[in-house]
Amino acid sequence: MSAEVLDSLILSLYDVQAVKFGEFKLKSGLNSPVYFDLRVIVSYPDLMNQVSALLHQRAVEAGLKFDCVCGVPYTALPLATIICSTHHYPMLIRRKEAKDYGTKRLIEGAVRAGDVCLIVEDVVTSGSSVMETAQVLQAEGLKVTDAVVLLDREQGGTERLSSEGVSLHAVVSVSRLLDVLFRSGRIGQQTFSSVEKFIQKNQTFTPAGEGQKNGSGGRSYRSRAALSSTHPLAKRLFTLMEEKHTNLCVSADVSHTQELLELAETLGPLICVLKTHVDILQDFSTDAMNILKELSAKHNFLIFEDRKFADIGNTVRQQYEGDDLGQQYTTPEQVIGSKGSDVIIVGRGILSASDRLKEAEKYRKAGWDAYRGRLSLS
């Protein structure tokens, strides 16, 4: 495809505000100087047809051979639809979540095991959304070796996907986009430099052996539960977290079993794990623990007993006489987004609240939003 065509496309995307510059808070909690909102192109039929044509042309130029096409939900779905209807390819639709009725399938369409499926995506950052789609397709017996994307943000997605056996073929890179917009006078030197610095600073992939930025590599809980290498207990945890839309663990640092059971009953629907300290229970009994187990089954959460004498802050004073140790707190966005943890653990933030249920819901939502934000870097 010619440079003139790509330059024209970039300017069109800017003109319809599919590319925005300023200060935008991402779902991950990061403040970004650039925001890509390609969903807007559905309101511009000519532009949407052009984007679809260029995605298909990129696949042809790369010599890709495939039997069917699947768009990553949701922005890429209309693009994949146009490609398939124009060039007569069978199309598959991947659901983000299976319905709880009907076929309950994650992949809709005529699936034929052994077929090669081409993935279509609008923007790639870490590559996690493409990889998650690939894993769902592979679980149905399909082969996935390639993906085409309109915009590669050049933050490690290409390298990450390559390490997983999927080659990414981009129509436009963020470097080219910035260069075209700068040369055309759409953005100034300061904007150009700030975006370039942000991209370089926020890479999502490092070579094998050095770990990945978020530990999980940006994968969803559901896709990690589906991995054969995932421990059965972790599989159960990831699954219930997805089902309940929660990554909240409550640290139940209480002194009496009645309060512990009340916490389990009240907060159970909002949590994935209840962390207990039976050492500090003044009226511990096996009967109470049996009731706790019943509540964990009722509300579908795990129980994590955290018995140790090298604990922190408030708990250690109750477990073992000693100094008044302080605690440093971080936000759910920092814990999930920046530090790459999978679960947020909250104790006094909830237990000291006048309305524990309301406060727990705030933490649940904040933690889940941070997780969804981490996935949005893809």
Which of 67-71, 236-240, 265-269 bottoms out in mean pLDDT, i.e. has the lowest? 236-240
What percent of the chain has pLDDT above 90? Answer: 66
- Whether residue 208 is contained in a domain is answered as no
pLDDT in tens, 322-372: 444 445 567 888 888 777 889 999 999 999 999 999 999 999 999 999 888
- Whether residue 342 is contained in a domain is answered as yes
State how beta strands 107-108 and 19-25 pair: unpaired
* Per-residue model confidence (pLDDT) at position 23: 92
CB count within 10 Å of CB 154 equals 20
Does residue 313 surpass a pLDDT of 80? no
Indicate whether 40 and 109 sit together in one domain. yes
- How many distinct structural domains can be found in the chain? 2
**C-alpha angle with apex 91: 51 to 377, nearest 5 degrees?**
55
Q: What is the pTM of this model?
A: 0.59
pLDDT in tens, 121-170: 999 988 989 999 999 999 999 999 999 999 999 988 898 899 899 999 99
287-306 mean pLDDT:
94
The residue out of 202, 229, 258 marking a domain boundary is 202
* Per-residue model confidence (pLDDT) at position 320: 43
| CATH code for position 333 | 3.20.20.70
Indicate whether 193 and 330 sit together in one domain. no
Does residue 66 surpass a pLDDT of 60? yes
Does residue 244 surpass a pLDDT of 80? yes
Asked whether the bond before 74 is cis by omega within 30 degrees of 0, the reply is yes
Indicate whether 286 and 347 sit together in one domain. yes
Indicate whether 166 and 226 sit together in one domain. no
Q: In what order do the strands lie in the sheet with 273-276?
A: 302-305, 273-276, 248-252, 344-346
Q: Which residue has the higher pLDDT, 311 or 229?
A: 229
| Sequence-ordered list of residues with C-beta below 8 angstroms from that of 150, at least 6 positions apart, any chain | 38, 51, 54, 55, 79, 121, 122, 123, 170, 171, 172
Does residue 213 surpass a pLDDT of 70? no
- Whether residue 366 is contained in a domain is answered as yes
CA 290, CA 275: separation in Å to the nearest integer? 16
Active-site residues: which are they? 308, 311
Indicate whether 349 and 256 sit together in one domain. yes
Which of 256-270, 304-318, 341-355 bottoms out in mean pLDDT, i.e. has the lowest? 304-318
Both structure tokens of 344: 């947020």
- Whether residue 317 is contained in a domain is answered as yes
Q: In what order do the strands lie in the sheet with 68-71?
A: 107-108, 91-94, 68-71, 117-124, 146-152, 167-173
* Per-residue model confidence (pLDDT) at position 328: 53
pLDDT in tens, 92-114: 999 877 666 777 788 999 999 99
232-252 mean pLDDT:
92
User: If pLDDT is split at 50, 70 and 90, which confidence band does 64 have?
Assistant: very high
Both structure tokens of 299: 């509300």
Does residue 317 surpass a pLDDT of 60? no
* Per-residue model confidence (pLDDT) at position 98: 67
What percent of the chain has pLDDT above 70? Answer: 87
CB count within 10 Å of CB 342 equals 21
Indicate whether 151 and 198 sit together in one domain. yes
Q: Assign 3-class secondary structure to the chain.
A: CCHHHHHHHHHHHHHCCCEEEEEEECCCCCEEEEEECHHHHHHCHHHHHHHHHHHHHHHHHCCCCCCEEEECCCCHHHHHHHHHHHHCCCEEEECCCCCCCCCCCCEECCCCCCCEEEEEEEEECCCHHHHHHHHHHHHCCCECCEEEEEEECCCCHHHHHHHCCCEEEEEEEHHHHHHHHHHCCCCCHHHHHHHHHHHHHCCCCCCCCCCCCCCCCCCCHHHHHCCCCCCHHHHHHHHHHHHHCCCEEEEECCCCHHHHHHHHHHHHHHCCEEEECHHHCCCCCHHHHHHHHHHHHHHCCEEEECCCCCCCHHHHHHHCCCCCCCCCCCCHHHHHHHCCCCCEEECHHHHCCCCHHHHHHHHHHHHHHHHHHHHHCC
* Per-residue model confidence (pLDDT) at position 232: 82
| CATH code for position 64 | 3.40.50.2020
> 95 lies in which domain range?
3-202
48-62 mean pLDDT:
97
Identify the top-confidence range among 28-37, 190-199, 226-235.
190-199
Does residue 315 surpass a pLDDT of 70? no
pLDDT in tens, 225-238: 877 677 888 989 99
- Whether residue 216 is contained in a domain is answered as no
Does residue 75 surpass a pLDDT of 90? yes
Distance set, CA 49 to CA 80, 85, 354 (Å): 11, 11, 55
Name all contacts of 91-97 with Cβ < 8 Å and 24+ positions apart. 92/68, 92/117, 92/137, 92/142, 94/70, 94/133, 94/136, 94/137
